[in-house]
Structure 1
Amino acid sequence: MIEILNASELARAKEAGALVANILQTVKSRSTVGTNLLEINQWTKEMIAEAGGVSCYVDYEPPFGRGPFGAYICTSVNDAVLHGLPHDYSLADGDLLSLDLAVSQRGIVADSAISFIVGESKPAESVAMIDATERALTAGIAAARPGARIGDISAAIGSVLSAAGYPINTEFGGHGVGSTMHQDPHVANTGRPGRGYVLRPGLLLALEPWVMADTAELAVDADGWTLRSATGCRTAHSEHTIAITDDGAEILTLRQET
């Protein structure tokens, strides 16, 4: 299903985007050495409830998971990159933490992810990997405009990731959003320009470049959810929800860094 949102729905999408951005920034500011992933999940649960939002994750039960997910945010540490199920783990100095959050606000969903390093240690390779996903996300957003195609976005993302030397997995990528969290079209993190669905004003897309340092292969944890690099290397993940407008793309989950 591909939804094209009207003006009223787009206004609600902006509300959802602002909520997601605020929660992620708040959780990032609170995540220090010693913070437990279960604390992050509880903070997120409370902030969603206070805002009158609805979690897209807690009851999420797709065919590839061992569901329902049962938590309110994805917390992926170091070699974990996607669908990290919060568990009893306290963050250490130098950990690379990826947070992925999707919330529905008044019936419309926004989805975003950030990666950052906890504490004072800043391993250069981890910093470079995070930077590559953020630059790829910026390139993908720049390619998203009315009349462009999904392949144009994928090619823009993939060119940045490839130039940075990272293998690219195409099993999981960006996607449409709207009244539900995951919709068509799929937006792979590499592709050929000029191919795929033609972008129209009112379309919402969640673009999410993610990479693993030295592999494109994933391994699944015993929890049935957490996806890790098959080699144990570090990973990074960046995501924004955007709205296609008459003038290009508007980022709905843009954060005010503190």
Structure 2
Amino acid sequence: MSQHTTGAAEFDGLVAVVTGGASGIGAAIAGRLRRGGARVAVFDLTPGSAPHADLAVAVDIADDTSVRAGVDRVVAEFGRLDIVVNNAGIGAQGDISANDDEEWRRVLDVNVLGTMRVARAALPHLRDSPAAAIVNTSSIAATAGLPQRALYSASKGAISALTRAMAADHLREGIRVNAVNPGTADTPWVGRLLDSADDPVAERAALEARQPHGRLVDPDEVAGAVAYLASPASGSTTGVSLAVDGGMQELRLRPAQ
């Protein structure tokens, strides 16, 4: 039996950073970790709106100086850092010709290098933690070919590969690294995409039908998966990409009758 136990206090005494934690999936993750007993620092471009933060810090993950200052502030405030959830990211639409080189660099800089910057700044502190964990937010776009998502898919595929490489590099330092792969979630970002569609109702129905369980993923469901991956009770789980997608990655159902 594991020396760790799960429950309401599974994160007691631990300090977590959640990037992009002011809204959507990030806010749900911050809330779940906090309910589990963690002290949570939210990194966001607009952190003042973060509903589940013990500390809210304005951090631009595309700026290494900003990232390092944010991590330093967390450690100064709480004296430690145990869990890093790299959730912040930006979207992109279109095939490979739809975005110019500058946009490709911008999205990869935020989604991939941003994840690297936060993890890199946190590493010295995670090495001192008895329960160190990094959880990266990837996507169903990393494992399934989705139309009109070339740039976004490339960035999330890189996150999945990076997660495995980081897990191998840091396992013997006591740092577990995993990823969560959400399907299409019911978030403000998806809501804005729907609002811009020619027929928002039809577009939502199509997104729901694409997922085998027939609905959008709830952000709290993603947060539950992140909590599992981050928990000290999951000490034998590393290098994993956990799908939370209603079966989209693995299932091939017949059409409903």
The alignment's TM-score, normalised by the length of structure 2, stands at 0.30
Please tell me whether Structure 1 or Structure 2 has the larger radius of gyration of its CA atoms.
Answer: 2
Structure number with greater CO (CA < 8 Å, separation at least 6) is 1
Q: Greater strand share, 1 or 2?
A: 1
Which of the pair is proportionally richer in helix? 2
Normalized against structure 1, the TM-score is what? 0.30
